[in-house]
Amino acid sequence: MSLTLRQMRENCQQAREAMQRAREQSFALGAFNIDNQETLIAIARAAKAKNAPLMVEVSQGEVDALGLDNVRDMVDNYKQEYGVEMYINLDHSPTVAAAIAGIEAGYEFIHIDISQARKDATLDEIIAETRQIVDYARLTGAMVESEPHYFGGSSNLHTEKIDYNEIKKTFSTVEGTRSFVEATGVDTFAAAIGNLHGKYPVPKKLDIDLLREIRSAINCNISLHGGSGTPGHYFVEAVKVGVTKVNINSDMRVAYRKTLEQVLEQNKSEYAVVKLMDEVIEAVQGVVESKIDMFNATDKARP
């Protein structure tokens, strides 16, 4: 069921208040991708168990599979069923049109990512198209996130090691960050400090000193993409510095697939797979709960 414009604006105002609480109370909202209903249930149950605010997020591939409006309806259904504080983030929206569709569907958070969708896009193009979404988001009050650079990796289980010499070439700079935020008016800046998409055979290393410099240079929210496979102490430090949103995907996908493979192997004669999903949901829920603790978001849900 479609939300009214008033409902969208109320939801977006609550989302803005949640991010403000995160700044004031030094915690971050986890932004957790869903591939299907089972991962959504796991996220909702984790939010309930930890009494934590969080985001459900979908990128374009997941939107294509599940449907933009259907995701809105499913999240609202489980938000009501479990009585949790849960918002939706449209992650890595590749075009202005796709981002506008997310705003019109009532998503509270919109990430417009021109640099990943068009790697040859100029900085002026990225700024101009991001600015279009910032302006259009005033319709509902949705919070807009973006960055002027391409994030490496992909949301998968990688076998190659991380080439930090290459990754450092894409790090955010203090002056570049300040200029981008001032030129676009974004609500959230996606910082690149060693984070990259996917899970790798070696732990990721974040430049917390650079993060501190970025935090001092801008007044908007700061997010970290590519949180999977990152040692927890980096999250603890990043949240203290002022990060208020962290994206998690691959850690959940690995837990989902490995647990499902084990359950299927143990139940070879059962073809009603829906009956085998309890352990899978529990495994993904465990991942989400552990991240919530790292983000200092336990017991931070709206009263």
Q: What is the per-residue pLDDT for 155? A: 62
Q: What are residue 199's phi and psi, to 5 degrees? A: -115, 130
In a domain, 128, yes or no: yes
* Per-residue model confidence as pLDDT tens digits over 281-294: 999 999 999 999 99
Cβ atoms of 44 and 246 closer than 8 Å: no
**Residue found by looking up tokens 């076998």 in the block:** 159
In a domain, 247, yes or no: yes
In a domain, 289, yes or no: yes
Q: What are residue 165's phi and psi, to 5 degrees? A: -65, -35
Residue of 35, 91, 187, 207 marked catalytic: 91
Residue 187's pLDDT band, with cuts at 50, 70 and 90, is very high
Determine the Cα angle at 15 with ends 2 and 114, to 5°.
80
In a domain, 213, yes or no: yes
| DSSP-assigned letter for residue 275 | G
In a domain, 40, yes or no: yes
Specify the amino acid at residue 91.
D
In a domain, 130, yes or no: yes
In a domain, 162, yes or no: yes
In a domain, 302, yes or no: no
159 pLDDT exceeds 70?
no
150 pLDDT exceeds 80?
no
158 pLDDT exceeds 80?
no
- For 210, the domain range is 5-294
CATH number at residue 187: 3.20.20.70
Q: Judge whether 91 counts as a catalytic residue.
A: yes
Per the model's pLDDT, the better-predicted residue between 152 and 262 turns out to be 262
Number of domains in the chain: 1
Residue 156's pLDDT band, with cuts at 50, 70 and 90, is low
The model's pTM: 0.94
* Per-residue model confidence as pLDDT tens digits over 221-260: 999 998 888 999 999 999 999 999 999 999 999 999 999 9
